[in-house]
Structure 1
Amino acid sequence: MAIAGKPLWRDCETAFARIDELCGDNTSRLFAEPNVKEQEGGRLVVAWFSSFDDEPKRLGELDRGKRARIESNLAARIEALRPALADQGIGETVAAMLNVADEASIVAVGENAVLTNWGILPEEARSSRAAFVRHSEKTIGPYLPSGMSPRVPGQPWAAVGGFATAGLSPPRRVIVPEPTAASAQEAQPSASARHRQAWLWPIAALSLVFAASLIYAAWPGNLVYPVALPSRTAAPPVNSDEVNRIIEERIAKMNTELTKTGCETDSSILGPLLDDGSRGPAAPAPAEGPAQ
């Protein structure tokens, strides 16, 4: 593409410097730098150089997580170009730079989105407004923030967010139907069931604990029963009158013996004599037989 007869690629360093001045440092790094060489027959060979040090990869080669990050990065970098697009001196140039040749022109260099083959449109895409919009929808359109669009120099065409601003139908939107009375009635039993499940959980938990306690108690070796002690036989009742009579008799007998002399006293009332061992061993009893 060319503006006022001047190709976009010629002296693009001036455009990059102006973009960074208006939008912030390194904003222009979204666009790869072209190195154009003309071969025999007027054929041009363009090599693209990125400011990021990494191997470029197409979006289709990325895993889902990284592709989502690259697409978010691309939308943010395009959003940063708003001041340049609104500038009277460079706005038309930057809008033309947002055109890319195909989907493969959007690459990931590390964690950064980079545009190659920018400022290029196939012949078919420049044939009509509808063709231009279709091409934009397949390439840069899905990543355009609200109100931003690539432009074709000399044409009033625009594709905002991948859709034409005039002359074409807007994209279809998925509308979630509002719940009807029938669907509300169908949903009610489910809510009641969830409510019943909510208060049944504590009962089930208590039942489980009680059952585990019973199993633990009945399991051999877990519950220790106290050893049964032998029962003691009850002593026969004591006749206190009889006991008192016997004691009184012994006291009376002892008083009687105390009035006697030592030789006449019956020592049996005092119980057996205690031997303190001073008399030596007791003599053996004589054997029974005729007296000698």
Structure 2
Amino acid sequence: VNINKPEAVISGAKDKYNSKFTGDFGVNLGSSELVKVNGSGKLTVLYQDGKWGSKHQDVKLNGTVANILNFDASDIKYDHENTKISIAKASITIPKLNDAKANVENARIDSNGLDWDKVTLSATQIALGSYVNINKPEAVISGAKDKYNSKFTGDFGVNLGSSELVKVNGSGKLTVLYQDGKWGSTHQDVKLNGTVANILNFDASDIKYDHENTKISIAKASITIPKLNDAKANVENARIDSNGLDWDKATLSATQIALGSYVNISKPEAVISGAKD
């Protein structure tokens, strides 16, 4: 802790040398690139009748942690006897997770630096870019000892806007990780399924989310066409991008399509256009 631009009153013998030192509240967390936090407000350190104390006026902390967390704290107390800072109210905002907010328990500055016991997300959904959601998210945001490494886990969901053409849902678990300065993700049984243009049933699996570029890659995708006797097609380079749910090519796997009870299409060839068309 620092007192910047200090002003001092140091009494003489008649007042038992009682003293006070007042100035702008500041913090010094060393040269760490992980924590860039500034103090504000007024701090007064008192020496009265042989005891040290302090007074605080609108003392706050704010800044960035690990380049991913915006940290804000208020109701801060400085204990000069033990040279410790206690923080009554603290919160974290995560800009790269659509400004998801979290409450911080027992935030403090101690020998480890800026640290805390527990972080609880207040969001019921985190939007990842324009298309992907983590629903019912749970977060582990580590403190100083673990270099603020973090993970965010929940149900995989997609948001393709209000289009009536595409009604596709996600399932499975998605975990977004921040480890040692890098973003990554892990996937557990992540899938997509639903309807496209009211005629196609779309199913996809082996789906990967790239958080650095907020993109979804789809390794396996297929289309079924109920009104063409459940004819099936394999989909090449399926993806979700700025066009929505899209693909390069769909190839029919059927050698014959039955159209009702009496008509067939033999050796069928199909053109199934993507989102742009």
Q: TM-score range by the shorter chain?
A: under 0.3
TM-score, length-scaled by structure 2: 0.23
Larger helix share, 1 or 2? 1
Larger strand share, 1 or 2? 2
Q: Could you say which structure has the greater relative contact order, defined with CA pairs below 8 angstroms and 6 or more residues apart?
A: 1
TM-score, length-scaled by structure 1: 0.22
